[in-house]
Amino acid sequence: MTEESRTISRGAEDLSCPPAPTEQERPNPGLYSTHALDRAFKANLARMTAGITPAGVVSVYVEWLAHLALSPGKQVELGEKALRKSLRLGHYVSRVASDPAASPCIQPMAQDKRFADEAWQQWPYNVMYQSFLLTQQWWHNATTGVEGLSPPRERVVNFMTRQLLDHWSPSNAPWLNPEVTAATLQTGGMNLVDGWQNFLEDWERNISGKPPIGAERFSVGENLAVTPGKVVYRNRLIELIQYSPTTPQVHAEPVLIVPAWIMKYYVLDLAPGQSLVEYLVDQGHTVFMISWRNPDSEDRDLSLEDYRRLGPMAALDVVTEITGQPKVHGLGYCLGGTLLSIAAAGMARDGDERLASLTTLATQVDFTEAGELMLFVGESQVAYLENMMWDQGYLDGYQMAGAFQILRSNDLIWSRMVHDYLLGKRQPMNALMAWNADITRMPYRMHSDYLRSLFLNNDLASGRYQVDHRPIAIQDIRVPVLAVGTTKDHVAPWESVYKIHLLTDAEEVTFLLTNGGHNAGIVSELQHPHRRFQMRTQRQGEPYLDPETWQQIAPEHEGSWWPALQSWLGSRSSGKVSPPPMGSERFPPLEDAPGSYVRQS
């Protein structure tokens, strides 16, 4: 038999006796329905757990307990600490019995204001809060320094334990809080009646999707987002606003602002006197702003790449045509800054030289040290969120807000509960609070891309993130960079923002650190009291400074950082020209600012 006939013979045998199908080729008929059942179950469970995976929390506690059980030395240490803290508390009790003004045996952390009222220094409340702080300190010792527990898992168990302890703080119990008991005696209990009414009102507004009490006094286009301008471009994802000039001449290079889509754009055009847009326009800059559409279920398949393509890249085309200028200053805030950095790196790779400079506000491009927000980002957590988003097509803003509130539970949850529900008071609504309550959504695919590519895998900082199916690198960005961080940022810690120094070969990197938080530190109007900032430029070829050294040597300035931004942009512009027209023949004005997308609920 020839080789050819043997081959044909084998083929005939294969055809006549095909191999049994594998399980992969022929899945169990119930596979898809059972998988859908799992996703539906987890999606509904996620709504009850604020999007936090119970499996992830349980697994980290089991791992911590296992390592602690295998560490007899750590157990002995914790036993000794418990004994010493008991003795400290006993000694303090004996001292205050004879001297009510005796100094405490433990002080709260600087940011912990729960026990600041003088009433907490009176018996028996002083003993209560001292006992609580000592217990809190012991649990911190118990959840840190356990050999074999990885640092990320240690941070998670420490954080979750702190949240549980904060729940049981004596300040949260009306009969243990001297401020509440005093108010109850003074008002005959009306503070609790008023607090109950406040609770019912908040609960009703929450379940019906209404904004919080007081937000009705703030309205987009009336006392929020009122800087004059025109919508000159609209696509499926953005409206582009061009602001009207207020000076006879303007800097030649326009400014394109890319805000985060996690919230409405107008945090940067908050109110008269509190608007970064208004300030830059008054200083002679031509400003364009992206206003993101609020997506819904039909937008579930919009990707992060779609946001880049339909967002900053589409806006750049319009800005350069309207102004006739070949260069544009790019400015991005939070996620908008990350997206603008991705766009800038792609442009640098492809030889697109339309950016004159890159400014990022509270923006990360390396997510290895993204602060306590990373506690909510792991494979278990991301998969859990994906199930919730798969079910509804997007991540709801209220679901997302829960995670941010937990990061600052003392400020945003417990202190509010005491103030509004136990003391029966209301904190007056302001413009920033009204903006914060104007919730947005994020499409399923885009948010999954963002969590996996950037947070979970850190692809952007590692040179693996792809634009147009090819990797990009932040290192390719060569234009001048100004990166702004804030000292109390729980979302983008300034040390993480500072990592831009390690990732780009720009001709110069200027880092500016201002006091305040992620939002309040950026909204730094000129008349804002107690504002200060540090600023320093590192030029290409100069040795790297670590964040601590930078903070020690960078010059400090009093007041808002906005004039420093304006000066930085102005010094990197090519001169003054007449203001460009509002729109163009191809992109005529469509409607007055702030447009339609920002009004979508």
Please list the active-site residues: 334
Given a contact cutoff of 8 angstroms between Cβ atoms, the answer to whether 495 and 369 are in contact is yes
Cα(131)–Cα(125) distance, integer angstroms: 10
The tokens describing 427, both together, are 């904190």
- Quick one: 33 exposed, middle or buried, by C-beta within 10 A (0-12, 13-18, 19+)? exposed
- Helix (H) and strand (E) counts in the chain: 23, 17
**Whole-angstrom Cα Rg for the chain:** 28
- ∠ CA 236-240-243, nearest 5°, is 165
**Are 257 and 332 within 8 A, CB to CB?**
yes
CA–CA distance, 182 with 96 (Å, rounded to integer): 21
Long-range contact list for 62-69, CB < 8 A, 24+ apart?
63/149, 63/153, 64/143, 64/146, 64/149, 64/153, 64/154, 64/157, 67/146, 67/147, 67/148, 67/149, 68/142, 68/146
**How far is C-alpha 5 from the chain's CA centre?**
69
Contact 263, 298 (CB under 8 A): no
Residues 6+ apart with CB under 8 A from 128: 170, 176
Question: CB-hemisphere CA count at 13 Å for 346?
Answer: 18
Angle at 426 between CA 421 and CA 431, to 5 degrees: 135
User: Rounded to the nearest 5°, which phi and psi values hold at 383?
Assistant: -60, -40
Residues 441 and 293: their CA atoms lie apart, in Å, by 9
The beta-strand segments (E) located in 516-575 are 532-539, 556-558
What DSSP string runs through 330-380?
EEEETHHHHHHHHHHHHHHHHT---EEEEEEES--S--TT-GGGGGG-SHH
Burial (CB count <10 Å: 0-12, 13-18, 19+), residue 208? exposed
- Structure-block tokens of residue 355: 């950016």
Cα dihedral sign, 265-271-272-275: negative
Crossing angle (nearest 10°) for helices 54-69 and 151-167: 110
- Alpha-carbon distance of 360 to 485, in angstroms, equals 9
